[in-house]
Amino acid sequence: MAATVPRERELDLRAMPREIPISGETIKLGQLLKLAGVVGSGSEVKAMLAGEPVLVNRASEGRRGRQLRVGDSVSVAGEELVVTAASPSPRAS
């Protein structure tokens, strides 16, 4: 008999935010959505923002050029994304 995951636990797993590391100080909303794989192109970003609610830090946002910083959160397509700083790459000696 297969073990089943309680419904409450299943919902918790989907609600976990996904961290999206960026290398600079800021990233535009459209770039973040492409980096996260939510959309494939800039034209898809524009269509998504026109047809689906996108929240940045729990406020409605429709500008693909909105500047995001480390710590900002984006809710889109049933997913929560959090902007994080990329780990520095190790330097060669």
Residue 21 near residue 15, CB atoms below 8 Å: no
Which of 51, 52, 48 minimizes the C-alpha distance to 64?
Answer: 48
Q: How far apart are CA 82 and CA 69, in angstroms?
A: 10
Predicted TM-score (pTM) of the model is: 0.77
For 53-77, how does the pLDDT look when each residue is reduced to its tens digit (9 = 90+)? 999 999 999 999 999 999 999 999 8
Q: How far apart are CA 32 and CA 9, in angstroms?
A: 28
Give the phi and the psi of residue 69 in degrees, each rounded to 5.
-125, 165
pLDDT of residue 60: 96
For 15-40, how does the pLDDT look when each residue is reduced to its tens digit (9 = 90+)? 689 999 999 999 999 999 999 999 99
For 5-17, how does the pLDDT look when each residue is reduced to its tens digit (9 = 90+)? 444 444 444 568 9
